[in-house]
Each structure stands twice: as C-alpha cells, then as structure tokens.
Amino acid sequence: ELESLGTPFELTRRGAIRATLEGEQRSPDRAIVTHLDTLGAMVRELKTNGRLGIVMIGHWSARFAEGARVTIFTDRHSYRGTILPLKASGHVYNKEIDSQPVSWDNLEVRVDEKVQDKEDLKNFGFNVGDYVAVDTDLEITKSGFIKARHLDNKAGVTCQLAAIKAIQDAKIKLPVDCHPLFTITEEEGTGASSVLHGDVASMVAIDNSTVATGQNSKEDSVIIAMRDQGGLYDYHLTHKLIKLCEDHKIPYVRDVFRHYRSDAASALSAGNDIRTALICFGLDASHGYERSHIDSLISLTQLICLYLMSETEITRDKDELGSLEGFPQQFEENT
C-alpha cells in the first residue's frame, strides 16, 4: 500500500516498517505508530488423537478462541481447522460442556484432513511451532458498525494509511518530517522498541480503546488516553491533541486504560527519550469478537491529519538536553 501511494519506506531487520513524509523542517521530527500484528496461536503439541494442542500468540481469552475457524501454516503447506474445547459434543458430554474450564490447556485444533493420530499429523508435515491464524469473520452493517476479530489493530492501520493518502493526495507540505511506523510485535510486548531513530522527539500511537462498563470510551468517537498500564502519557502532547479535537469539532472523550499497553510503552521501555500520546478508535469487546463504528474511524483519521499538519509542539525539544529555560509547564498552558 505504501508503494502504491509512493511513500518511501524502509524495513528493520525484524520487519517493522518506517515510512517518511517529508516536511519543511527536518529535525527534530515526529512519528505516528500503529501495529500490524494481531492475535493468534501456535502449535505446542501433536496429540495422540490427531489433534493439535495450542498456546496463544498475544494475550486473549480461550473463551473467544472456542469455535474459531483457523488456518494452520506448516513449513510447506497450509491447512484448515477449527479450535474446539476438549469436550465439544453436547450429545456426549451433556452438562460437562458448560462446566469445563476456560483455558488454553482445554483447547485443541481439529484439523480438516484425515488424521487419526500423531503419526498422521507428522506425515502431513505438522510440527510444534506452526502458526495458527484465526479467521476475521468481518461484517459491516448498514448502520455503520464494523464487526470482526482483529480490528485491533487493522482498523488503526487503516486510519494511518488513510491519513497518509489524504495528505499526499492534497499535496500538503508538512511543517516537520513525520515517520509513520508499522510495528509487528506489539501484541507480544516489544512493538516500537527498535523502529525509532534518535531524531524523533514525539510519537503518537494509534490503537483501540476499551468500550466497557466503568470505561469512558465510546464506539463512535475518538478516544484520547490519559494513561494506561505502561504509565502516564505526556501531558503537553496529549493536551495538544485534545485542543485539536476541540478547535476542529472532532467528537472525542478521554479515558484511562487499566489492563493495556501500547507501542508507546515499548518505545519508552527501550530507553527512547520522547514525548508519547495515544489516540484510539472506539472498540467494544477488545481481543474478543470486536465492534467499532465508521464514525470513529473517520474522526480518528481526521485527527491524525490535523496532527501531522500542526506545528512542532515544543521548540525546546530540538535539543535532547538543556536548561530549564523553555521547558513547558502545565500552569502556563492552562492560563
């Protein structure tokens, strides 16, 4: 997609993507980041009953894996299958169906080939470590809702690409260089740890919110995160994004995420001295069978464009180290 847009990019050794949108100012520059990877599973055992024991890739509940249709990728071929609990037939197990534990140890993949035992699996080329990809089951309703697995973070990737296309189609010259980043290990915890370079002073992560009781997120608006499990987001960068929403009448809400980390956390954990913020699309049932709304995706894309077109937040950030002079203070901004 970046090639079709004519956007220059390069890959890291591990496969993360760093694109470049040139601006009037080369340094310090900024980055936006979203992750390409999503949830899945990996074969941990070839079982004597001809089925596959699995472990999760990323962090998601076995409850949402039950019944999922999947593709298993061996070293040479791919095969179809279904993730099932160990006790799958109501006609056989009756009430035990409902009392069995919700656990990855209680799941197996029924392979859609004539396999009866471990040797059959070996003959087909199955191995421990084979990847298991879960079908997305996408549906878009007339009312604008988008339902699927893996909207985290395919929807975020879509918004980032749409913003890049809009900027380039309009031939807008950005005030400062921006690097759109696409990471491939966010769900495993490493994300943006190695894709940045030293010239980036601020980075905005683009990901899903968590719509649920006790949360402030909404499915049809932008959500600006104030903090998550990884810590606090930068006050000044976050409030700049809030002001962009307010000035341009983009519907938004603020939220705090308790069991959640983003690419920003991995970037900071790797020692990058940058300002970070997190902007989100609304998402219900995250890491389950998810749902968002087209209004949220449109609003989020608009906010990304506005951020890319905005001036540098803090002039002092051109220097990695400096005196107190020019360092921003909350009181001055609020007055």
For the segment 247-264, the average pLDDT, to the nearest whole number, is 96
Give yes or no for residue 315 having a pLDDT over 90.
no
Q: What is the pLDDT of residue 158?
A: 98
Give yes or no for residue 274 having a pLDDT over 80.
yes
Q: What is the pLDDT of residue 204?
A: 98
For the segment 14-35, the average pLDDT, to the nearest whole number, is 94
- Smallest CA-to-CA distance from 151 within 280, 291, 18, 28 is with 291
- Of the two residues 329 and 137, the one the predictor is more confident about is 137
Give yes or no for residue 291 having a pLDDT over 50.
yes
Q: What is the pLDDT of residue 265?
A: 93
Give yes or no for residue 335 having a pLDDT over 80.
no
For the segment 87-100, the average pLDDT, to the nearest whole number, is 96
For the segment 271-291, the average pLDDT, to the nearest whole number, is 96
- Of the two residues 194 and 279, the one the predictor is more confident about is 279
Give yes or no for residue 21 having a pLDDT over 60.
yes
Q: What is the pLDDT of residue 83?
A: 99
The residue from 1, 3, 96, 186 that is catalytic is 186
For the segment 224-230, the average pLDDT, to the nearest whole number, is 96
Taking CA atoms, 5 is separated from 2, 33, 166, in Å, by 5, 18, 10
For the segment 4-20, the average pLDDT, to the nearest whole number, is 95
Q: Do 279 and 203 meet the contact criterion of CB atoms below 8 Å apart? A: no
Give yes or no for residue 91 having a pLDDT over 80.
yes
The CA angle 253-162-190, to the nearest 5 degrees, is 70
User: What is the overall mean pLDDT for the chain?
Assistant: 94
Structure confidence at residue 318 as a pLDDT band (50, 70, 90): low
**Is 186 noted as a catalytic residue in this protein?**
yes
Domain 2-37+150-334: state its class.
alpha beta
CATH architecture of 40-134: Beta Barrel (2.40)
Structure confidence at residue 95 as a pLDDT band (50, 70, 90): very high
Q: What are the residue ranges spanned by the domains of the chain?
A: 2-37+150-334, 40-134
Q: What is the pLDDT of residue 194?
A: 87
For the segment 174-193, the average pLDDT, to the nearest whole number, is 94
Greatest CA separation for the chain: 75
H/E/C letters for each residue in 55-114? EEECCCCHHHCCCCEEEEECCCCEEEEEEEECCCCHHHHCCHHHHCCCCHHHEEEEECCC
